[in-house]
Amino acid sequence: MTDAPPDTADQIAPDLARIEALAEAALATLPGSFARAVAGVAIRVEDFAPDDMLADLGIEDPFALTGLYDGIPLTEKSSFDQPLQPDTVWLFRRPILDEWIDRGDVALGALVTHVLVHEIAHHLGWSDDDIASIDRWWE
């Protein structure tokens, strides 16, 4: 009798599509006024931030950035703005997975939601200090 190979399905890291599905599920739960405010925002999921993005931010460790809002916050938009690209919330899979594993006490969906909502707050015009005043996630 031969032993069956172990089931490794639960040992495979969630892929880009899984992180994107978790982000879409989080978006679906946003209250109406917030959902309308982010209706035109693109959500992009990549393994890591591109090198040029990290360089622009002065970040050397690609694992240090789990997400980023790239665009003009609603509080600064003008009807005269001619955007070259849509406002975008970037989610970076590998840094998110590393934080998830390091924490060990939060569901992956909750972490993806947290990063997504943090970046949406930037779209709404909130600074990191504004966000930190109500969201002490790191504690």
Residue at 5 is within a domain: no
Residue 51: give its domain's CATH number. Answer: 3.30.2010.20
pLDDT of residue 93: 97
Residue at 109 is within a domain: yes
| Average pLDDT value for residue range 77-92 | 82
Q: Are 125 and 74 in contact (CB under 8 A)?
A: yes
Asked if residue 127 has pLDDT above 90, the reply is no
pLDDT of residue 138: 54
What is the rounded CA–CA span in Å between residue 133 and residue 19?
A: 27
What is the rounded CA–CA span in Å between residue 139 and residue 136?
A: 6
Half-sphere exposure of 36 (CA within 13 A, CB side): 2
Beta strands in 1-139 (DSSP E): 42-46, 67-70, 88-92
**Residues 44-56: tens digit of each pLDDT:** 999 999 999 999 9
Domain residues for the domain of 24 are 14-74+84-134
